[in-house]
Amino acid sequence: MDKLAVFGGQPAVPRDQRSVTWPIITEEDRKAVLNVIDSGELVSNSDTPTAVDDLEARFAEKVGVARCVGLSNGTTALQIALAALGVGPGDEVIVPALSFIASGLAPLHQMAVPVFADIDPVTFTMDPEDVERKVTSRTAALLPVHLHGMPADMDALQQIANRHSLAIVEDAAQAHGASYQGRQVGSLGNAAAFSLQVTKNLPTCGEGGLLTTNDEALADKIRMTRQFGEIIEAGKPRDYISYHLGWNSKLNPIQAAFAASQLSRFDDYEQRRQANVSAFLDRLRPLAGLQVPAERPGSTHAWHILRFRFDPAAMGLDGVRPTALRGALRRVLRAEGVPLSQYQLMTLPQQQVFQERTGFGRGYPWAALEGGSAPDAGHPVAEAIIEDSLTLQKRHLNPDSGPLLQRYADAFEKVWGNLDLLAKLARAES
């Protein structure tokens, strides 16, 4: 049996084969950016069409929705969606307990209170049963996250939303191209937010966001909200009248042109990624005690992040604590050349911002809740996942990463062939 690299053996992933880039930046991407600079159309509140209009039209078509609005980033897209739907002080928004911090901050930015629902142990998306338990007379919206690229359980959530007259804002920041029962994510709720931040499956050269919706009136309102509440119409000079509360949250045409150029290659990359990731996961699935990312029946996963859970008992390592096993696996697999990382160190509700509730000061927005907020009983599934899982990010997004992923699979198999040594390391860690 091969000696583990952590004990001085040859790493399963040779050092000269580890380098893989994301995003891939081509000559077309560079030209697209330069064309915008040369055009002089450098802001999206122009009265003539810009690269932002072009990206909006193309992304709306890709998602299969009536409208798309370019915004400065995904967090802003979530907040402005909530704003346009009328969510504000005194309201609660139900958010999954495991996500990137922005999913929990967006309601706060609207002076609404995020209420955290636990997640499903396999899909890592919001658990509809816990959502139902968390609905109160103050709940205004659900904010399901298609976490890591896995579509949330939208049918069950839509039924809850219908029963209680709630809006749904999809957080699709990690899920470009994922589909749910034949429909693209981003077309499943009242509105959806996508991030174009440079590490995403559809990246820009920096920061950016897109909001999608089938509601024309909502899209018009959001276009105004991103531009100080003003109406900007093609062919008409700007009149500087603010009709409602707005921000300056526009997407820059340079960022839009880069993302549109990436969008031209998106489907090709996505197809190759699907093949690479599924061949990788097929090799990991037989390993005892390793929970590989699953696909929801009838859905496609965008594989933005691959999260692996480890079960000490199923690995024959009774008595080893999950955190100790996670620490040992991280060390051993990184030594083999697999760059696993923990990503979030805690659940969303455990973050200081939600624990200390300083918010806007003087207890707001929690102080605006009539009757006070309900006590939080914890989120056992999300907490367990934080303790017993590691993630793989970015490398597998490159469509040429197939051979690298096979070397990663070699590394996992090698480590699983040395579970006795892994147990020793884990016990030493505890």
Binding of residue 293 to ligand PLP (CB under 6 A)? no
Return d(Cα 325, Cα 269) in angstroms, integer.
34
Q: Which is nearer to ligand PLP, 197 or 252 (CB)?
A: 197
Binding of residue 262 to ligand PLP (CB under 6 A)? no
Closest distance of CB 9 from ligand PLP, Å: 36
Closest distance of CB 413 from ligand PLP, Å: 30
Binding of residue 195 to ligand PLP (CB under 6 A)? yes
**Residues written for the chain:** 430
Binding of residue 75 to ligand PLP (CB under 6 A)? yes
Q: Which is nearer to ligand PLP, 75 or 299 (CB)?
A: 75
User: Which helix (H) or strand (E) segment is 192 a member of?
Assistant: strand 191-195
In this chain, which residue has its C-beta nearest to ligand PLP? Answer: 74
Query: Using CB under 6 A, which residues numbered 133 to 152 contact ligand PLP?
Result: 145
Rounded to 5°, the CA angle 323-324-326 comes to 60
User: Which helix (H) or strand (E) segment is 222 a member of?
Assistant: helix 216-225
Q: Give yes or no for a cis peptide into 365 (omega within 30° of 0).
A: yes
Closest distance of CB 194 from ligand PLP, Å: 8
The answer to whether the beta carbons of residues 140 and 87 sit under 8 Å apart is yes
Return d(Cα 378, Cα 42) in angstroms, integer.
47
Stretch that binds ligand PLP, among 14-22, 94-102, 310-318, 326-334 (CB under 6 A): 94-102
The answer to whether the beta carbons of residues 179 and 299 sit under 8 Å apart is yes
Closest distance of CB 102 from ligand PLP, Å: 4
Q: Which is nearer to ligand PLP, 304 or 326 (CB)?
A: 304
Q: How many residues bind ligand PLP (CB under 6 A)?
A: 15
In the chain, the amino acid numbered 323 is T
**Which tokens in the block code for residue 16?**
């000269």
The answer to whether the beta carbons of residues 65 and 214 sit under 8 Å apart is yes
Closest distance of CB 245 from ligand PLP, Å: 20
- The 152-181 contact track toward ligand PLP, x by CB under 6 A, reads -------------------x-xx-------
Stretch that binds ligand PLP, among 70-78, 126-134, 262-270, 364-372 (CB under 6 A): 70-78
Binding of residue 124 to ligand PLP (CB under 6 A)? no
Closest distance of CB 133 from ligand PLP, Å: 23
DSSP string, 25-93: --HHHHHHHHHHHHHT--SS--SS--HHHHHHHHHHHHHT-SEEEEES-HHHHHHHHHHHTT--TT-EE
Quick one: CA dihedral 305, 311, 316, 322, positive or negative?
A: positive
Q: Which is nearer to ligand PLP, 114 or 327 (CB)?
A: 114
Binding of residue 73 to ligand PLP (CB under 6 A)? yes
Binding of residue 225 to ligand PLP (CB under 6 A)? no
The answer to whether the beta carbons of residues 427 and 421 sit under 8 Å apart is no
Q: Give the binding site for ligand PLP (CB under 6 A).
A: 73-75, 99-100, 102-103, 145, 171, 173-174, 195, 197, 207, 209
